Amino acid sequence: MIKIYTVSGYEEVGKNMTAVEYNGEVVIIDMGIRLDRVLIHEDVNIQQFPTKELQKLGAIPDDSMLRNKKVVAITFTHGHLDHIGAVGKLAVHYPDVPIYGTPYTIKLAKGEVKSEQYFEVKNPMYETDFGEIVQVSENLAVEFIRITHSIPQASMVIVHTPEGAVVHTGDFKFDNNNPLGEKPDYKRLKELGREGVKVLIPESTRVSEPTKTPSEAVAQMLLEDFFLYEGMEADGLIATTFASHIARLQELIRIANKMGRQAVLVGRSLAKYTGIAKQLGLIKMKGARAVRSPNAVKKVLKEVSQARENYLLVVTGHQGEPGAVLTRMANGDIYDIGKRDTVVFSAGTIPNPLNQAQRYVLETKLKMKGVRMIKDLHVSGHASREDHRYLIRMLNPENIVPAHGEFRMLTHYAELAEEEGYLIGRDVFVSRNGYTVEIR
């Protein structure tokens, strides 16, 4: 019998953790953090907090249901913090158990482990290629399938069992024009559908959007449409987006080059994600530079403020996170931002009250200083309803356990599954954190 442990991420967007058990052996998928619970953002470490405290805050998964299980592998779907951010705290609960993921994901996870201050994580970590099938015990094997999302090398994780495949989608969208060249591996997905999928565990964050999520190429068009026309005449230009969104950053660098401006990426997290991407050949930094240390940041911002028309600043802080570069600029701490500047938000507002409040504060401060703002030059990295329907039809799974979402998102997914012939309680299961779904 297959059991799905819906450890965490089944009542919220964030702190994802799921486990698949077959015949007493367990494969863990993701160990994420929930950013809003500790007021943190891409620039801040959770490493200084003890595990118990973070679990009590609801910032990392409570994995007590797995503690006496025989875990044979830990896998990561992709490198976002709500999927890998708790590795430094939780991997030590499973000593010596190997960790697998794609190279970009594993390099980011190693970074998390390195900055962990309470524990020394000694689990071996392996970079896995797409298409490789790794035997993790006599009965179980794991496989990573290429998919598109808002970070490089995102994957679906497949746990192969003697009863059929368990497919965990991670976060995904079906992007057929991804500017980084990554494409969903439809061929392998269809093959799996023919071989037999026992359980599908899909993300649910945008399933209520009755559409297909547009390609990243659309976001690039939105940016070009502003920067390469009106932007050419602007004085100070400041763009803000997700530090891990390498495709978007690459486009901003390309646009800056086209405009004859230098792209300057400011902030520790931008330097971190682009640094690893550069190592792996996933981004070309030609014509751009990234600055991370507080002194370098101060120096470069002074330089930019004296000749704004020569630069395109790319900064952290699109959600108004305290301490992020844009927030500090809006406060007037590190840059004299004002009427001459335009701020382009290449990111949506993450829909939780904390983000909305912080973003409101940020925008109000910018407005008071006379800054022009251009919002929403962005498309989501998450599948909408019709992408999900396509996946269900491709895989034709026997059972579905919707994941990664608030209760209403999981039920929206269940409703979609019912449209596709499933029935709640029979073969589609809406679970909560800390429960087990037994697949018969």
Q: Please give the residue ranges that form the binding site for Zn ion (CB under 5 A).
A: 80, 171
Instruction: Kindly tell me which of 80 and 388 has the beta carbon lying closer to Zn ion.
Output: 80
- Taking the complex as a whole, how short is the minimal distance between the CB of residue 30 and Zn ion, in angstroms? 10
Residues 6+ apart with CB under 8 A from 362: 317, 320, 326, 327, 330
Instruction: Kindly tell me which of 244 and 316 has the beta carbon lying closer to Zn ion.
Output: 244
- Taking the complex as a whole, how short is the minimal distance between the CB of residue 77 and Zn ion, in angstroms? 8
What does the alpha-carbon distance between residue 324 and residue 319 come to, in Å, rounded to a whole number?
9
Instruction: Kindly tell me which of 78 and 359 has the beta carbon lying closer to Zn ion.
Output: 78
Instruction: Kindly tell me which of 198 and 245 has the beta carbon lying closer to Zn ion.
Output: 245
- Taking the complex as a whole, how short is the minimal distance between the CB of residue 153 and Zn ion, in angstroms? 12
DSSP H stretches of helix in 310-406: 325-330, 353-368, 385-395
Question: Do residues 64 and 107 lie in contact, with contact meaning Cβ atoms separated by under 8 Å?
Answer: no
SS3 state at 264: strand
Token pair in block for residue 377: 């030059």
Alpha carbon separation from 121 to 16, 58, 76, 87, 106 (Å, rounded): 19, 22, 16, 8, 13
First to last CA, the chain: 6
- Taking the complex as a whole, how short is the minimal distance between the CB of residue 149 and Zn ion, in angstroms? 6
Instruction: Kindly tell me which of 245 and 385 has the beta carbon lying closer to Zn ion.
Output: 245
- Taking the complex as a whole, how short is the minimal distance between the CB of residue 75 and Zn ion, in angstroms? 15
DSSP for 154-223 reads: -EEEEEEETTEEEEE--S-B--TT-TT-----HHHHHHHHHH-EEEEE-B-TTTTS-S-PPPHHHHHHHH
Instruction: Kindly tell me which of 89 and 149 has the beta carbon lying closer to Zn ion.
Output: 149
- Taking the complex as a whole, how short is the minimal distance between the CB of residue 403 and Zn ion, in angstroms? 12
Q: CA 200: distance to chain centroid?
A: 20
Instruction: Kindly tell me which of 105 and 274 has the beta carbon lying closer to Zn ion.
Output: 105
- Taking the complex as a whole, how short is the minimal distance between the CB of residue 78 and Zn ion, in angstroms? 6
DSSP for 66-132 reads: GTTSEEEEEE-S-S-HHHHTTHHHHGGGSTT--EEE-HHHHHHHHHHHHH-SS------EEE--TT-
- Taking the complex as a whole, how short is the minimal distance between the CB of residue 318 and Zn ion, in angstroms? 16
Instruction: Kindly tell me which of 153 and 250 has the beta carbon lying closer to Zn ion.
Output: 153
